[in-house]
Amino acid sequence: MATLLLRGVPIGTIQGVLFDKDGTLSFSEPHLLDLAERRIQIAEELWNCQDPSPKKENTLGPMLRRAFGIQGEQLHPGGTLAVAARQDNLTTMATVFCLHGCSWPGAIALAQSCFDQCDQQEQDRNSISPLLDGAEDLLRSLHSQGITNAIISNDTRAGIHAFLQHHGLSHLIAACWSADDSPRKPDPAAVLSLCARMGLDPEECALIGDAETDLQMAAAAGIRFVIGYGGGWGLTPELPSATHWLDNWAEMGLEADP
């Protein structure tokens, strides 16, 4: 056990910390915006093959941008692309195809084709989002004090492990809960299952995330310290369920218990 400090003030003792990944540990906004634009470009190309009507070409892209949460050159931190899992975003795209007159089976097939093509581009680009300033130092500090670190994310298991391996953090993370696990977040059972996997009591843990759904999930699961992180996006997320707030990782510290 160790005492968690926020801006130098002790808030309580912890045994484990559960971290969100995108927008919390990683600076994901530029990558997600680029991913969204490439998905939209491919979607427009696929749709034009179905129906080259200028009306459909002109409305599909703007509707997808709104659906994904793109606001100008920024991403809404509570939007679909920022918060939801891949399958949810695929369903979002399919719904927009339906709004343009496509059948649901056809819409799912188009969205799946779009995502598959974009996945191939991702493999060719091999892009990994950078860490946010101070994240690595905090993870190392927690680990050195015997605190159990975990990640709970709607990224895939492969995506989480690639991120950790790329940044040399794998040895600092005891366990992960991904979109491939069931149930996935924001089901509180995901938190409970992850804690059980590590032998931790939720009452001894903190959860740190940038999405209101994450914080609601943590509170429902009985996590003691529900901490909102606001420094990962251009637009500040709205996190009313946070019991504590961080703007950057330098504001968090740890004090070894005597």
Structure tokens at 53: 């009507």
- pLDDT of 258 reads 62
Nearest-CA neighbor of 9 among 206, 244, 258?
244
Nearest-CA neighbor of 131 among 19, 216, 40, 207?
19
Q: What is the pLDDT of residues 224-247, one digit of tens each?
A: 999 999 999 999 999 999 999 999
Burial of residue 246, with CB atoms counted within 10 A of its CB: 0-12 exposed, 13-18 middle, 19 or more buried: buried
E strand intervals along the chain: 2-6, 9-14, 16-19, 70-71, 74-75, 148-152, 175-177, 205-209, 225-229, 244-246, 252-256
- pLDDT of 1 reads 80
Q: What is the pLDDT of residues 37-48, one digit of tens each?
A: 999 999 999 998
Mean pLDDT over 210-229 rounds to: 96
Q: What is the pLDDT of residues 118-169, one digit of tens each?
A: 988 776 566 789 999 999 999 999 999 999 999 999 999 999 999 999 999 9
pTM: 0.88
Mean pLDDT over 65-94 rounds to: 93
- The CATH class of the 2-27+131-256 domain is alpha beta
In this prediction, residue 49 has a pLDDT band, given cuts at 50, 70 and 90, of: confident
**Mean pLDDT in the chain?**
92
Q: What is the pLDDT of residues 157-205, one digit of tens each?
A: 999 999 999 999 999 999 999 999 999 999 999 999 999 999 999 999 9
In this prediction, residue 55 has a pLDDT band, given cuts at 50, 70 and 90, of: low
Q: CATH 3.40.50.1000 region(s) of the chain?
A: 2-27+131-256
- pLDDT of 52 reads 62
